[in-house]
Chains A and B, each alone.
Chain A
């Protein structure tokens, strides 16, 4: 077959329009690199977001409530989440679990013991126990018990230690001390007033509120609940795998909800990165399309310019299959070289990204993802198929 192909080379000149062919090859190379970079960047970004190396918690908790606007002020019923709205939130695919935050319908006054002379009006809220990550034995309350377990927001202690205590010349308190301090909690509804002992069991970044066990809240609301107060929820806590999910952010915006913006900050970055990656990928695809078009036209040109020769070859007994193999053999090795070179470029870029990001404590793998290799294989296959189809079509057309 080799000797035959060597003779075919003298008959079917593939040299015509070489300039165009080189340009198209270059285009294919650039298209390939762009597509592979887009695939790789996507994979890297996912790795940064979700890989165990880059984050400690696999799920995150968000407290969602309606945005308070000027027009809503003084109309507490507008803050309330209706059952329909709650169901809608629960239906969203990014919500893994959800729990209503129940607020107290009684007055609470907390007093520090002994010499501290500290008393404050406050409130309680509760969430289902599954949203609390404090050890179970500490986080329970049974009717009759005078001790109420309480979780404080971390920010609260910080505000006291760094804001309040310094300005008032009061001592600073460590978390351990707070946990050891028994607080005097006075619960009243205007008619009855009872004193309990509050026991701080933990601090939370998750839910910025004064939390008590749900069992206590239900019991206390029943017992001390003031007439005229509603038991409807205005805040809901959800568990989500990915707080930077743009779908989540969009859902919140669309419905006028708000949450801890800090947790969503990744989302903006992610949207920007995704847009850039998509644009790169899109340009890659457009370029690939044009490269394919030029290749296809180039093959057409060769076959058209050798029409007579191809006819005579077939007359003499050359199988269309042989011609097809010969023509593909002229181009395919080049495509494979382009593919390999593009992959090598991406391998080098990825390694550099790995080194640079490692300095910032961000881990991405030093080698391109399997998807990138698969992408290269797909692009090469696509080019091969387009070539094969073109050659087949035009070789057969001439006969």
Chain B
């Protein structure tokens, strides 16, 4: 699946962006399938906004985001839902877990959303063990630390099939060891699916072997 940006420019940040050089905004960019893409961006340059545009939960922009050559606006609600179940997964910066569910239920919700789950429950347990969150799975997500929640959100994003994984500062609250483990798991899962990812972060990092680097 190909994602393409065509002169994309967020309306609220327009003036600010046009004053400086950006590698993404107002450019024509093609994200090729299977590539590991890193977008480095200082605060306030529209990092989260970009992820939201790519995932189609905001549309206050000029230009186009093309998915398989078709702009988001041409997709119907049920088509978008299908894409989110089968082809695009996401880890939000603000995680977006259901507080009324336990950690495991949050993961399960995504796993069983498709009639034929991609992952087995055992696989979920394995991933939880690798990220050191097995002990919190039964707890209400409300009671978890931010770092634990972040790891639950990562596992939730990995239980579904996808061609692209969108990540918005996915390791912001993880220590070095846990970041290393999470990155390794993500890289493995992407390779297994022959999928690519787009990761946005504040700084340079060596978590992945990136194919492409952009400066927002």
Write the residues of chain A forming the contact surface with B, with a CB cutoff of 8 angstroms: 1, 3-4, 7, 10-11, 309, 312, 314-322, 396, 399
Contact = CB atoms under 8 A, between A and B. Distances in A.
B78 A321 contact: yes
A317 B98 contact: no
B180 interface: no
Contact of B98 (A1, A4, A309, A396): A309
Given A317-B85, A320-B77, 8 more contacts: A7-B112, A11-B98, A312-B96, A316-B96, A317-B113, A319-B82, A320-B78, A321-B81
A316 B105 contact: no
B78 A4 contact: no
A140 to B, nearest CB: 82
Nearest to B87: A317
B84 interface: yes
Interface centre among A312, A319, A321 (most CB of B within 10 A): A319
Nearest to B98: A11
Interface centre among B55, B77, B78, B113 (most CB of A within 10 A): B113
7 contacts: A7-B105, A314-B81, A316-B109, A316-B113, A319-B78, A321-B81, A399-B77
Contact of B108 (A1, A7, A396, A399): A7
Interface string B75-103: 00110011111000000000010101100
Contact of A315 (B83, B96, B101, B109): B96
Contacts of B109: 4, 7, 11, 316
Given A3-B108, A3-B112, A315 B98 contact: no
Interface centre among B100, B112, B160 (most CB of A within 10 A): B112
A315 B57 contact: yes
A317 B108 contact: no
B149 to A, nearest CB: 14
Contacts of B110: 316-317
A314 B85 CA distance: 10
Contacts of B101: 7, 10-11
B98 A312 contact: yes
Contacts of A396: 77
Interface residues of B, number: 21
Report whether over half of chain A's contact residues are helix, strand or loop; otherwise say mixed: helix
A117 to B, nearest CB: 102
Contacts, number: 56
B95 to A, nearest CB: 11
A399 B81 CA distance: 12
B106 to A, nearest CB: 9
A11 B101 CA distance: 8
Contacts of B100: 10-11
A183 to B, nearest CB: 93
Nearest to B157: A316
A10 B81 contact: no
B115 interface: yes
A11 B109 CA distance: 10
A321 B108 CA distance: 19
A312 B55 CA distance: 13
A11 B108 CA distance: 13
Nearest to A399: B77
Contacts of B77: 314, 319-320, 396, 399
A1 B109 CA distance: 10
Contacts of A312: 96, 98
A86 B113 CA distance: 77
Contacts of B81: 314, 317-322
Contact of A1 (B82, B84, B115): B115
A321 B82 CA distance: 11
A337 B115 CA distance: 28
A108 B212 CA distance: 125
A235 B112 CA distance: 84
Nearest to A396: B77
A388 to B, nearest CB: 16
Nearest to A314: B81
A172 to B, nearest CB: 91
A13 to B, nearest CB: 9
B148 to A, nearest CB: 19
Contacts of A309: 98
A4 B112 contact: yes
Contacts of A321: 78, 81
Contacts of B84: 315-317
